[in-house]
Structure 1
């Protein structure tokens, strides 16, 4: 009930495009810092911002690459959300490729057994399923996710929680499983209507309660997947996840409410207009914050789509009175926002 109450308030807040962009960027930076910190990244939150801006920290090259790659993966998640298609297993293997190597190349699943050990003692804390079972388990997971997205038999927070648990439990890769599990959870929440304009992140709450996070994931009578973990009682993890989500939404509700009620904030109810736009249109608004006119290739690059698809979208948006042609006489089309939407990006 707390999650739903805060979600409703956040969705109804009159957030203009400039404030929204700032809140979204803050959330992405927080997610990048805390999700990589959980896996041992040593950069501070301030250093993460600097690293993304191009600053180098001698001796921390691996940490720099991790945060840059994770930020790229978050941006790719946004493009997947905007595409509004089923959550693809192959596409998510590309997300892992971004996380690990900074490239959108699908990563093959592990071909051998991996073991999760306690860092201090070397004690085995989890033995995931054998490599031969990974492909089937992952296919089943993505089938289940898309089925739940279609039927909504469970509340969205529980779908996201079970997705997170199962991905981490399968542990499909030798490395990067935690980061990609959290990214997949983020994607599921967005697609289920709980993205909340991209202005919150759960990763900080995991990082600040790390021992509880790991304890909640450690369920069943044995550390072996086949000796109890596969059929374990997941109540503890579901409770931890929902508590974390409630805390995150409460925090962002307070921050967003404070932002839109300050004297310097614009009080025009841009939120009502924004809700009439689809995810791709909202993302394209970001281009117009720095340019009065944009081109089809710029739309394609920004959304991560082909130039042909960008041109088709532009035609649809012209018909919907979202865009206008800057100069019909020119062979190369340039577009500007229609006056109805221009106020979203310029005072």
Structure 2
């Protein structure tokens, strides 16, 4: 059974208090749908840019945005594919965050499939040994566990994650930090481990109530001090997993993660406050109305900002769900007064927001 070795140091405790303070302040800030959508999109673009940049992607943040809209950059074709794949994986993780039940190992293998190949099919774990080498010297800096041990280690990790989310004894940022560390330590694939670890971390935070509607990104704070990020991941007396890495004290990485998260939440709190002061947030406070909606319904409002009337297929595409899953959701939203059926066609049913909720997007 996976049992992480760490302590809650004074610096970690301080970071946790800052996280809670900013989290509560952000929850209570009056944010209308338009500003919320803008903050979420900014965070998604930042996450895509910085998470791929950490792995060597050469596109700038502006180019990432353009690539996602279909632009091409000669000589950067691989980078274009990488950011598009990551963005698709991030959208899939958002749909998993809005779901219920345990965090599923197979679905996270699908996330890796999107990251690596752009295909939502479960990636098989690596069949052989891999090593991480220093790019400059070629020396081995880490030798992960043998391939035969990977399935058991991964099953243990996901069992631990779900147990912690159910028990809620450890602070959520610590659970997320340990999740990130252990996924990277197991290194279940030849490639794409770092990106998938960061996406899994995002999912854990959302499921634990620390997603904050997706308006912040941790990746930028890792990328700002990449050497510290890698140094925090490198623990134990040896580069070999079996020679002390598995039992190593990971307090250093937990501290790095919590401080980074505190910085990220502090920054987004400032951005929202500045938006209010500059008049970008309307005097109308939509927070109470938005809190009455589940995460999927809140995301649905963004779709109606651009389309007054939408089909079930558009809803499915926007939420990353199958049409079969969307059909009962739409019926429930109609019953709850969120949606109204537009027109009489049953085969290609369309929906519009009820007047009560339509005011939130104008």
- CA shift at 1:264, angstroms? 4.1
What corresponds to 1:16 in structure 2?
Answer: 32
What corresponds to 1:49 in structure 2?
Answer: 65
Residues 13 and 112 of structure 1: is their aligned pair in 2 closer, same or farther, counting only changes over 3 Å?
Answer: same
What corresponds to 1:224 in structure 2?
Answer: 240
What corresponds to 1:253 in structure 2?
Answer: 269
Note if contact 2:315-2:326 (Cα within 8 Å) is conserved in structure 1. yes
- CA shift at 1:328, angstroms? 4.5
**Separation (CA, whole Å) in 2 of partners of 1:254 and 1:182:** 24
- CA shift at 1:12, angstroms? 1.1
What corresponds to 1:234 in structure 2?
Answer: 250
- CA shift at 1:308, angstroms? 2.4
Note if contact 2:130-2:143 (Cα within 8 Å) is conserved in structure 1. yes
**Separation (CA, whole Å) in 1 of partners of 2:148 and 2:276:** 52
Describe how 1:172-187 pairs up with structure 2 within 5 A.
172-187=188-203
In the alignment, which of 327, 330, 334 is matched to residue 318 of structure 1?
334
- CA shift at 1:315, angstroms? 1.1
Describe how 1:150-161 pairs up with structure 2 within 5 A.
150-161=166-177
Shift >6 Å, 4+ stretches: none
In the alignment, which of 117, 140, 161 is matched to residue 133 of structure 2?
117
Unaligned runs of 5+ in 2: 1-16
**Separation (CA, whole Å) in 2 of partners of 1:105 and 1:226:** 31
Describe how 1:19-168 pairs up with structure 2 within 5 A.
19-168=35-184
**Separation (CA, whole Å) in 1 of partners of 2:280 and 2:149:** 56
What corresponds to 1:289 in structure 2?
Answer: 305
What corresponds to 2:18 in structure 1?
Answer: 2
**Separation (CA, whole Å) in 1 of partners of 2:165 and 2:301:** 27
Note if contact 2:216-2:268 (Cα within 8 Å) is conserved in structure 1. yes
Question: Per the alignment, in what secondary structure is the counterpart of residue 324 of structure 1?
Answer: strand
**Separation (CA, whole Å) in 2 of partners of 1:341 and 1:133:** 51
TM-score scaled to structure 1, two decimals?
0.97
Note if contact 2:91-2:320 (Cα within 8 Å) is conserved in structure 1. no
What corresponds to 1:191 in structure 2?
Answer: 207
Question: Per the alignment, in what secondary structure is the counterpart of residue 141 of structure 2?
Answer: strand
**Separation (CA, whole Å) in 1 of partners of 2:321 and 2:247:** 41
- CA shift at 1:344, angstroms? 1.2
Question: Per the alignment, in what secondary structure is the counterpart of residue 289 of structure 1?
Answer: helix
In the alignment, which of 252, 274, 292 is matched to residue 276 of structure 1?
292
**Separation (CA, whole Å) in 1 of partners of 2:347 and 2:78:** 46
- CA shift at 1:141, angstroms? 0.5
- CA shift at 1:284, angstroms? 1.1
What corresponds to 2:359 in structure 1?
Answer: 343
Measured against aligned partners, the alpha-carbon deviations of 1:211-256 in whole angstroms (never above 9, x if no partner) come to 1111110001111101100000011111111110011111111011
Aligned residues: CA RMSD: 1.2
- CA shift at 1:69, angstroms? 0.6
- CA shift at 1:297, angstroms? 1.9
TM-score scaled to structure 2, two decimals?
0.93
Residues 273 and 60 of structure 1: is their aligned pair in 2 closer, same or farther, counting only changes over 3 Å?
Answer: same
Residues 312 and 91 of structure 1: is their aligned pair in 2 closer, same or farther, counting only changes over 3 Å?
Answer: same
Measured against aligned partners, the alpha-carbon deviations of 1:71-101 in whole angstroms (never above 9, x if no partner) come to 1111111111122232110000000010011
What corresponds to 1:305 in structure 2?
Answer: 321
Unaligned runs of 5+ in 1: none
**Separation (CA, whole Å) in 2 of partners of 1:330 and 1:247:** 50
**Separation (CA, whole Å) in 1 of partners of 2:171 and 2:30:** 26
